[in-house]
Amino acid sequence: MKAIVIGGAGYVGGHLCKALAGAGIDFLVYDNLSTGHADFVRWSPLVQGDINDTVLLKRTMEDNGVDTVFHFAAKAYVGESVVDPEKYYVNNVRGSISLLEAMRGAGVRHIVFSSTCAVYGQPDRMPINEQTTPLPINPYGRTKLMIESALADYSAAYGIVYAALRYFNAAGADRGGEIGELHDPEPHVIPRILMAAAGQLPAIEVMGTDYPTPDGTAVRDYIHVDDLAEFHLRAVRHIRASGESITVNLGTGAGKSVRELIDAAERVTGCKIPVIDSPRRPGDPPSLVADPAKAEQLLGYRAQYSDVDTVMATAWQWLQQTSAVSSPSLQARA
Ligand SMILES: NC(=O)c1ccc[n+]([C@@H]2O[C@H](COP(=O)([O-])OP(=O)(O)OC[C@H]3O[C@@H](n4cnc5c(N)ncnc54)[C@H](O)[C@@H]3O)[C@@H](O)[C@H]2O)c1
């Protein structure tokens, strides 16, 4: 296998790169560094480019003998997608079509695509399995579902073989401490809780305390990035060996509330975390929890590092490191 990791300078893609290197798989990263970091590309060459540059993508694949694509490159913030949908349609939809065109041109058939639980919208029944009808409620979810549709059509017509991996919430950081989550601004709840613990934020805002959940705060399914990386390795081996495309949820099946996250963060850090209770954010469902059975059966793996204390401890170790290192992009958050 010779892989190209599109978006490999980002959070989830960076962790896959470390796992690919660990598995002895040859690869390169292609990324425009819009939200990624050159510092995260430690295990392969980096080609700096945009997925909308079909010519550069095709040439990069041909020049490097690529036969497999991992596609992480996307805009990925629900709120921003509502305010500025064009960014999402241009980057995620047009960009992914450009990537598929480049793959066809270069004769590359295998692709692992980062999809999301946002394709489901707000289903009533938990946990969510893959039979649940996708009904996304924001442009981000709609763009991801459009790409899933394109993959299915390209598969039927042109023989592309794909794995569409619907992650729930990626969380935690490399257990070896080399990479982690680093967005500016950081919208995700776990790093924000830890930033509040470290005094980098005045408090953590809990948006919604009157949801119909056990403690009134929103429940999500957090899966450790190292588990996501392992699922990617298994998914690519599965589609390459079987020639069959798959669409699966990646989660744990065990939801955690925002209050449970804060409790875990206080346990792990030993810090009292200031909390501000706020109203619900429009469009946020009370609960989103995966039924991970299909992925577990097909790929023979169950998340191993996704208990809340491991997630929190690895993310905390990473936050403390990024506050101390000398790289300019890492210092930006410190
Ligand atoms: N983080 C999560 O909880 C989560 C959950 C579900 C799905 N996802 C999906 O996983 C993928 C990775 O998410 P992440 O959290 O690592 O995001 P990220 O922003 O850290 O990584 C995305 C990477 O893609 C690059 N990129 C973006 N647009 C590009 C373009 N036009 N051309 C080339 N490179 C481009 C960025 O520079 C960055 O390195 C995304 O597709 C996201 O939708 C993430």
Per the annotation, the verdict on 158 as an active-site residue is no
Kindly state the percentage of the chain with pLDDT values over 70: 97
Q: Which amino acid is at 182?
A: L
Q: What is the 3-state secondary structure (H, E, C) of 168-215?
A: CEEECCCCCCCCCCCCCCCCCHHHHHHHHHCCCCCCEEEECCCCCCCC
Q: Does residue 334 have a pLDDT over 50?
A: no
Which of 77, 88, 120, 140 is catalytic? The answer is 140
CB contact set of 33 (below 8 Å; sequence gap of 6+) = 9, 48
73 lines ligand 1 (CB under 6 A): yes
pLDDT given at position 281: 86
Q: Ligand 1: which of 5, 6, 12 to mutate, judged by most atoms within 8 Å of the beta carbon? A: 12
Structure confidence by residue, pLDDT tens digits, 248-268: 999 999 999 999 999 999 999
Q: Where are the domains of the chain?
A: 2-171+223-250
For residues 279-285, give the mean pLDDT: 87
Query: SS3 breakdown of the chain: % helix, strand, coil, rounded to 5?
Result: 40, 20, 40
Q: Which CATH architecture has domain 2-171+223-250?
A: 3-Layer(aba) Sandwich (3.40)
Q: Can you give the pLDDT at residue 324?
A: 67
Q: From CA 316, how far away is CA 196, in angstroms rounded?
A: 11
Of 275, 308, 309, 256, whose CA–CA distance to 201 is shortest? 275
> Which tens digit of pLDDT belongs to each residue from 233-253?
999 999 999 999 999 999 999
Measured from the CB, is residue 36 less than 6 Å from ligand 1?
yes
Q: Is the dihedral of CA 290, 10, 108, 93 positive or negative?
A: positive
Summarised one tens digit per residue, pLDDT across range 214-239 is 999 999 999 999 999 999 999 999 99
Averaged confidence pLDDT in the chain: 95
Question: Which of 120, 152, 116 is closest to 136 using CA atoms?
Answer: 120
Residue 146 has pLDDT above 60, yes or no: yes
Residue 283 has a pLDDT of: 78
